[in-house]
Structure formats: structure tokens, C-alpha cells
């Protein structure tokens, strides 16, 4: 095999209750990466990036290039790799653009070289790329991008897949503004009241238990964010109005995706999911803010060869 095409999903990190430790893969949008072998052993080259002209074509300064290089080196670098990237997960959207690139790149290299690695075994190499963008090795976007579904990333050890709640529909609302992860972390509290920490842990545990019971309604109602979301909400354009409109349109839970600016909203029907998208878009349009929306669901598969 001299060429492969890979699809990698957008992701929602934190899911309110699991800051830096919980994430979900989305069925849409996704990113496509084409990878080809070259005759220059050990080299990684990015031929083109479609949909994000500001991203670097320098493999050493690109998330996909760094991730691909890391795995290529680990597999003995028998050839070179050329990447062509189609960015449908927009950079700075808060739905795992860099994670999709890193996950797609390592899946492509593994397939080209017949590495045979499991998604969780590919995680360290993808994190090498993700860390270039985020400055850290948090796996809450990369792990679900590789593994699909909902993934819990403990402080130590391998990521853990949780059962996907039945009946969930997800609406992503992406206002076209830039929020840097570094800035969104600056607003987070360094200390929280003990009772908030206790209650947040209870909600996280209740969410995991509801997932294992396959109780989608209970799982959605457990998504209470007691200190991360409230601290970041002022950074998100029209957040209170969007949240109110989403709830009135049928959303039963929701919050900020990763560090924003995208928000996610959980409904229990396709019709309600579309209604939430329409209502949120109307609020932001009235405020003069261009907005993308995606009506989707949790993806059962992570990055994979097409």
C-alpha cells in the first residue's frame, strides 16, 4: 500500500463534568488526510492543506506533521511520508481541530507501514503532535478522536471507553470568533470551594453510572458544570442568550466545548437538535456574529482508513 485516506472526527472535550479528562467523538464534522509513501526515508512532508490557509506547511510546525514523524521514527522510518490535509474541523473552533489532525496522521502512518497498533497504542504519538498546538499532553480530545465514542482519560494509565448514552443528538454552535486556549485557561479559578469539588465529582460519577445503565436522559441531566463553564462563559459571545434559546428549543443539557468558542447542546430527537441549531444561530446572527452549526451525534468509530 502506497497511499491511504483517513477520516478523523471532531471532538467535544470536558463535557462539563470532566475537565481535562473526558471527551466525545462526533460523527460530523470530520477531517480527511491523504498519506503517501515517498522515497526519502524518515522524512515527513506536507504537500497541501485545504480549508485552513494559515496553517504551516512545515512538518515540524504542524500538528499532523509532528505526530506522523513521531510514529514514523518509532516504526523504523523505512520510507518517507507525504500528507495532504482537508480541514473541515476549523482551527480555533473548540471542537478538536488539532486532535483530528494528530489522530488522522498517526492512523495513516500506521496503515501505510502495517504497524498494526491499536488506537490506544497510537495515543502517545498523536499526543506528540497535539502538544505542539495546546502546549500540554491532555488526551481529552485526542483519545476520543482515535477511539471514538466517549472516553475517560485518568491521571495515569490507559484511556477508558464509556458506553455512549442512547438517544443523544448533539448540536454544535460555532461562533466565528477566536478564543485562545491560553486565554481561556487564565480565567479558571486556582481554588474552588470544597463543596463544589465534592458535588462536581458526584456529577461525574453519576454521569459514568448513567452511561453504563444506558440511560441517556439521566446522563444528560448529570452534565452539571460547577466551576469551569461559569468561569469561561463571559468569553463566549452571547452565551446566556444562546443557552436560553437552546433550552427553549429543546436542549436538555449543554455547555462549552473545550475552551470554546463552540458550545454543544444535547437533545433527544433530530427535530429538537435542528431547532436548537436554528435558535442559537438566530441569536448570534442578530448580534452580528457569523456562526457555523452542526447537527450530529456521538461517533462510534474514531479515526479510520476510508
What confidence tens digit (pLDDT) does each residue in 11-25 have? 999 999 999 999 999
How far apart (Å, rounded) are the C-alpha atoms in residues 246 and 276?
Answer: 5
Q: Which pLDDT tens digit goes with each residue over 179-188?
A: 877 778 889 9
- Domains defined for the chain, CATH in brackets: 3-159+301-305 (3.30.230.10), 163-296 (3.30.70.890)
Classify strands 44-50 and 80-86 as parallel, antiparallel or unpaired: parallel
pLDDT at 181: 75
Give the model's confidence band at 295: pLDDT under 50 very low, under 70 low, under 90 confident, else very high.
very high
pLDDT over 80 at 46, yes or no = yes
What mean pLDDT is predicted for residues 264-283?
98
pLDDT in tens, 128-167: 999 888 777 889 999 999 999 999 999 999 999 999 998 9
Sign of the dihedral defined by the CA atoms of residues 240, 246, 248, 253, in that order: negative
Mind listing the pLDDT tens digit for each residue in 214-224?
999 999 999 99
> pLDDT tens digits for 100-112?
999 999 999 999 9
Identify the weakest region by mean pLDDT among 126-135, 205-214, 219-228.
Answer: 126-135
Q: 113 with 78: CB under 8 angstroms?
A: yes
The span from the CA of 172 to the CA of 276, in Å, is: 9
State the pLDDT at residue 1.
83
- What was the pLDDT predicted at 135? 74
What is the pTM assigned to this prediction? 0.95
Amino acid at each position: 500500500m502506497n497511499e491511504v485516506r483517513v477520516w478523523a472526527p471532531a471532538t467535544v472535550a470536558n463535557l462539563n463534568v470532566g475537565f481535562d479528562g473526558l471527551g466525545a467523538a462526533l460523527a460530523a464534522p470530520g477531517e480527511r488526510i491523504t498519506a503517501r509513501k515517498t522515497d526519502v526515508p524518515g522524512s515527513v512532508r506536507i504537500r497541501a492543506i485545504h480549508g485552513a490557509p494559515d496553517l504551516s506547511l512545515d512538518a515540524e510546525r504542524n500538528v499532523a506533521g509532528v505526530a506522523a514523524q513521531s510514529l514514523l521514527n518509532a516504526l523504523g522510518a523505512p520510507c518517507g511520508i507525504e500528507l495532504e490535509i482537508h480541514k473541515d474541523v476549523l482551527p480555533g473552533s473548540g471542537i478538536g481541530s488539532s486532535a483530528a489532525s494528530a489522530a488522522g496522521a498517526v492512523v495513516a502512518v500506521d496503515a501505510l507501514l502495517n504497524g498494526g497498533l491499536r488506537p490506544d497504542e497510537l495515543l502517545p504519538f498523536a499526543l506528540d503532535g497535539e502538544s505542539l498546538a495546546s502546549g500540554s499532553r491532555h488526551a481529552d480530545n485526542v483519545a476520543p478522536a482515535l477511539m471514538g465514542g466517549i472516553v475517560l482519560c485518568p491521571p495515569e494509565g490507559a484511556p477508558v471507553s464509556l458506553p455512549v448514552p442512547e438517544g443523544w443528538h448533539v448540536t454544535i454552535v460555532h461562533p466565528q470568533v477566536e478564543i485562545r486556549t491560553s486565554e481561556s485557561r487564565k480565567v479558571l479559578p486556582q481554588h474552588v470551594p470544597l463543596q463544589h469539588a465534592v458535588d462536581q465529582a458526584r456529577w461525574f460519577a453519576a454521569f459514568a453510572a448513567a452511561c453504563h445503565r444506558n440511560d441517556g436522559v439521566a446522563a444528560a441531566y448529570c452534565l452539571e458544570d460547577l466551576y469551569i463553564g461559569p468561569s469561561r462563559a463571559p468569553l463566549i459571545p452571547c452565551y446566556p442568550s444562546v443557552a436560553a434559546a437552546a433550552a427553549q428549543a429543546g436542549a436538555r443539557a449543554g455547555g462549552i466545548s473545550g475552551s470554546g468558542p463552540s458550545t454543544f447542546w444535547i437533545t433527544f430527537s433530530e427535530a429538537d437538535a435542528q431547532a436548537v441549531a436554528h435558535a442559537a444561530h438566530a441569536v448570534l446572527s442578530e448580534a452580528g456574529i457569523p456562526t457555523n452549526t452542526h447537527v450530529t451525534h456521538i461517533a462510534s468509530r474514531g479515526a479510520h482508513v476510508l
